[in-house]
Amino acid sequence: MSPSIRNQIRELRTQREMTQQDLADRVGVTRQTIIAMEQDKYSPSLETAFKVALALGVTLEQCFQFEPRGKR
């Protein structure tokens, strides 16, 4: 079952012409973790979510949205 937290990491990242490795380096995770987040296969911890939003220069709510299970 995929996580119930959706994100706009890919869209925000490409708007800033940032590679996955660049974002991973800024956040302190592996590129594969960034890929998993973009594919909605992994929901990061709160700390990592804040780091991602900070690296992309947006608020947490602009980057991540919570959807109760059963809704997409």
Comparison of 15 and 30: residue with beta carbon closer to other proteins? 30
Comparison of 15 and 46: residue with beta carbon closer to other proteins? 46
Count CA atoms within 13 Å of residue 26 on its CB side. Answer: 17
Residues found near other proteins in the complex (CB under 8 A): 1-3, 28-33, 35-36, 40-45, 48
Task: Tell me if residue 30 falls in helix, strand or coil.
Answer: coil
Phi, then psi, of 66 in degrees rounded to 5:
-100, 130
Q: How far apart are CB 39 and other proteins at their closest, in Å?
A: 8
Comparison of 12 and 43: residue with beta carbon closer to other proteins? 43
Contact between 9 and 68 (Cβ < 8 Å): no
